[in-house]
Structure 1
């Protein structure tokens, strides 16, 4: 039995891939039957020439033609193949499908799955999704990584959050505010009318029009000439004012936060947005995306309806950069995340070499949510012995983190062209003030419409009504009941009554007079009364014209 020291040393040796020091059995006896079979299989493929299929899918795999016309494989897949080649001592040649498809096609030579299914290649060195549909045709290796398909689109100039004036609240809050503004006025009229009938104390109810204008005026922080005396009406007014104060405080704070710490949002964030908003999108032909979308058993099958309407396309491109004109035209590119990052980084470097300004280099952006995700690995023919031979070293390569390192070694450590570019300045743009322009245009249109309606009603409808109901009245020299002019003391005086022309006041005969050491302007009103208006004192601006002193 091993001692404690021997166990510690054994653990250290196991971590460094050496044999346990207390294992005194011969090496051949320690090997299991599985190890013997593995050694025999390795001897069988020692020095053997393999046909390895692959396709263009940067940076995971791609093919270039050598000087003598032979195809040379590159990418993460062939860096792994080179590790396996050194360990197992085999040679290989590269075979590519005719259509650069992962799966599908009219004949076996069109796709990698077709080549492996018909034993036209010994293995496929490409990261293919482990799809259930093809497990009865080919054999998949152990999972090498989990592929994440994302959506890349052209970076919009403006955030999808909309105008800055509407940004502090979402649509539900704005709808509820609109309901409150439209409903609180009728509530005031209804409650005051009900109180007038039940508590006859002389206070009149507030009709619908003043109630509505009070609610609207308080909403934009304007005063009112209504002076309620009943406690019920005062509570109603106070409740609305408190609501407006809190609402204004929340709106101002959130608007300030939006303008200073705004978060850029996209119109497309999930695959459902492609369907709901009818966005045009494109992906590689013969890829896993096409297989998932056209398969009735998959969750994304609803997107197949967009194929019938021409909003979704599957195209075969020899180079990923050929998709960029489509994206610039408004289409959304659906592709595996590593390929998207490599494409965006290559485009960024190209713009940097061309001297494009830093702020204009990030032309594209990736949606925050992924399109789909699947396990990926190499592919072998159905009954191939290579799977038993290569899965064990592939697992060691995976567990050592080599695959993750190879996928990102040519990419920057920071996120490429993130959604939020973290710009230090936040200036108001024209779109932030678009709502103000809409309010102005809507208000002018409403004013013109009301003006036309008033003109039509007063000049035609009321004129016809007065013409029909007009009766002759007898001429009398004196009226028994002379007219009495009532003046509403609750309303403030017009400014032009003090500083401008007022037809009710005869300013031509105004005289200056000093009474009790104070200067007054003596004027004569239209009804014959004489009024004194203080001048050259602060109280002159607050003086109420309707309160007069008879001479």
Structure 2
């Protein structure tokens, strides 16, 4: 067999004037010693009979029995075996372990690695992961592929993002907003108190109760009766309003996006979630997952604690479909991606044949992140000559992309039951509005509690205080000196202050009218001695409920 350099030289010579270098005694020295050894090894195993071990790991490898009871190998692994058989002209028989384990059992015959290690088979035609425990017992071929172990679980009815009202922000943002609401009111009180003491211009400080209600009212976009004149207080108010405006804009936009284009998320996405949230998970007994988790040299060793608590278990099943009832019960299945894809696709087709609605066929879903990844290949006994013979051909098969094609040939080109089913109708559910119900219940409970508190304070405590102070009542002293009150003329007086029972304006029958600038006004006297003009026979007169 010609090497790469020989093929290049042969191509150049054939395109010019040279003769082919094969079977040319002059250039025979160019043939490498390795090529001679390989040709000799190929002649040595020509027509030999091999024992090939395998185990049930659909769709990569499994066995069936023909009419005579002879085991026949199936799957991607035996497509490669057939290629090797045609190349090297050998015959073989299939041998399976007793317990369908990769490694483990009481005897060597119980596992596939045990068969290879004891030289009971010449080669293991299966995609075995290259983990440390296996490397100590057998010799692996070239890397045939990279095995990816995924986590399959029952598709939840609701996204793990939470309620619709809380979804736009994560927990950290909500906590910071709560801290801002609770702390900004005391900050206003503190700064206005310091200003009133350091800058004595008559501007009073804002106590804690009005500050809190201002912050809360602005948070729900309500107005306030506070009208500060100091620039410091106005800047404080403006800062909080700007904060609320931006926060409301972000919340409204994200809430709209969540309700229309929300991405479905799972509660379990990584192996760390299994440990942190204490989810029950299962894997194949005697497989790579069991030995990786139990190995202190592996990154997933922390999951071994879940085995001792019973939250993780390893089971040996006759078929992968036997795992589905456990997954339906809430367990997470950890298995190779190819096996999970075939399992989900078969379940989808079964539901389609049974007439299940399209929206209900995808019962299971795969976590977005892998559990682990390992390189895989065939296994040979230690010191086997077949490694050098077979690996040369397997390397070319791998480079041609044949293995990747064979692993996906029976599966659809699209993703099977993706995480986001791209549902076009997005109707609000009770879960989206659950927070509104909680707010109503909490608000009503708080109102009832405050009502009871006010009832106790105002009806019982004040009655006791009044009875206690009745005997200590002092005579009131009256002064003949008139008292003068300062009124704020910058705002219009309320209606009750003018014509109510406690009105400071006294309208008498002797009150006169006066025309000023073409308008008629009613001239009245206020309690403080001032004279007021009230418009008459104008649209604004209706505000004072006066008819003349």
Shared fold, TM over 0.5: yes
Other structure's SS at 2:416 match: coil
**Structure 2 Cα separation of the partners of residues 407 and 332 of structure 1:** 24
After the TM superposition, which of the residue ranges 37-46 and 365-374 deviates more from structure 2? 37-46
Q: Does the CA-based 8 Å contact 1:10-1:20 persist in structure 2?
A: no
Q: In structure 2, do the counterparts of structure 1 residues 219 and 538 end up closer, same or farther at CA, with 3 Å as the change threshold? A: farther
Mapped pair 1:167 → 2:167? yes
Distance 1:338 1:332 in 2: 16
1:235 corresponding residue in structure 2: 235
Residues in 2 aligned to 1:332 and 1:9: alpha-carbon distance in whole angstroms: 57
- In 2, Cα distance between equivalents of 1:436 and 1:533: 50
Separation in 2 of the partners of 1:492 and 1:307?
Answer: 77
Task: Sort the Cα spacing of 1:452 and 1:474 in 2 relative to 1 into closer, same or farther, 3 A.
Answer: closer
CA distance in 1 between partners of 2:490 and 2:69 (Å): 99
CA distance in 2, matches of 1:493, 1:425: 56
In structure 2, the CA distance between the partners of 1:488 and 1:208, relative to structure 1 (3 Å rule), is farther
The separation in 2 between residues aligned to 1:152 and 1:218, in whole angstroms, is 47
Unaligned residue ranges in structure 2 (runs of 5+): 1-6, 504-512, 523-533
Find the counterpart in structure 1 of residue 179 from structure 2.
Answer: 179
Separation in structure 1 between the aligned mates of residue 72 and residue 540 of structure 2, nearest angstrom = 95
Q: Deviations over 1:421-445 (max 9, x none)?
A: 1222222222111111111111112
Who is 2:24 aligned against? 25
The C-alpha deviation readout for 1:408-463, integer Å capped at 9, x for no partner, is 11111111111111222222222111111111111112112222222233333333
Partner of 1:371: 371
Distance 1:492 1:124 in 2: 97
Quote the residue 1:460 is aligned against: 460
Q: CA deviation at 1:503?
A: 9.5
Deviation at 1:28, TM superposition (A): 6.0
Is the Cα–Cα contact under 8 Å of residues 186 and 208 in structure 1 kept in the other structure? yes
Distance in 2 of aligned mates of 1:429 and 1:408: 38
Question: Structure 2 matches for 1:86-105, cutoff 5 A?
Answer: 86-105=86-105
Is 2:37 the counterpart of 1:34? no
Q: What pairs with 1:508-547 in structure 2 (closer than 5 Å)?
A: 543=543
* Pairs aligned (count): 513
345-354 or 169-178: bigger deviation: 169-178
What CA distance in whole angstroms lies between the structure 1 residues aligned with 2:408 and 2:229? Answer: 75
Secondary structure in 1 matching 2:39: helix
Distance 1:485 1:317, change over 3 A: farther
SS at match of 1:383: coil
User: Are the counterparts in 1 of residues 51 and 95 from structure 2 also a CA contact under 8 Å?
Assistant: yes
Q: Secondary structure at the match of 1:424?
A: coil
Secondary structure of the equivalent of 2:52?
Answer: strand
Cα distance, 1:467 vs structure 2: 3.3
Deviations 1:203-237 (A, max 9, x none): 21111000100011011100111111111111111
- Report the equivalent of 1:139: 139
The answer on whether the counterparts of 1:348 and 1:362 sit within 8 Å (CA) in structure 2 is: yes
Counterpart-to-counterpart distance in 2, 1:380 and 1:196: 88
Cα distance in 2 between the residues matched to 1:226 and 1:7: 90
CA distance in 2: counterparts of 1:492 and 1:354, whole angstroms: 78
- Does the C-alpha gap of structure 1 residues 443 and 376 become closer, same or farther in structure 2, counting only changes over 3 Å? same
Residue pairs, 1:185-264, within 5 angstroms: 185-264=185-264
1:315 deviates by 0.6
1:225·1:490 contact (CA, 8 Å) conserved in 2?
A: no
**Aligned residue for 1:270?**
270
Cα distance in 2 for residues equivalent to 1:276 and 1:447: 39
Match of residue 74 from structure 2? 74
Secondary structure of 1:428's match?
coil
Gaps in structure 1 of 5+ consecutive residues: 1-5, 506-514, 521-531
Matches within 5 A, 1:92-491: 92-473=92-473
Alpha-carbon contact 1:225-1:491 (below 8 Å) kept: no
Distance (whole Å) between structure 2 residues aligned to residue 430 and residue 290 of structure 1: 41
| Corresponding residue for residue 10 of structure 1 | 11
1:148 CA displacement: 0.8
Aligned partner of 1:3 in structure 2 is none
Q: Deviations over 1:480-530 (max 9, x none)?
A: 7999999999999999x8xxxx9989xxxxxxxxx9999x9xxxxxxxxxx
* Aligned counterpart, 2:528: none
Aligned-partner Cα distance in 2 for 1:326–1:233: 63
C-alpha distance in structure 2 between counterparts of 1:261 and 1:74, whole Å: 44
CA distance in 1, matches of 2:303, 2:82: 40
For 1:97 and 1:292, locate their aligned partners in 2 and report how far apart those are by CA, in whole Å: 21
Q: Write the distance in 2 (CA, Å) between the matches of 1:103 and 1:259.
A: 49
SS at match of 2:200: coil
Give yes or no for contact 2:275–2:306 (8 Å, CA) kept in 1: yes
CA distance in structure 1 between the aligned counterparts of 2:356 and 2:406, rounded to whole angstroms: 30
Q: Distance in 2 between matches of 1:63 and 1:503?
A: 101
Give the aligned CA root-mean-square deviation in angstroms: 3.6
Pair 1:72–1:161, CA change in 2 (3 A): same
Rounded Cα–Cα distance in structure 1 between residues aligned with 2:541 and 2:114: 97
Q: CA deviation at 1:470?
A: 3.5
Alignment correspondent of 1:55: 55
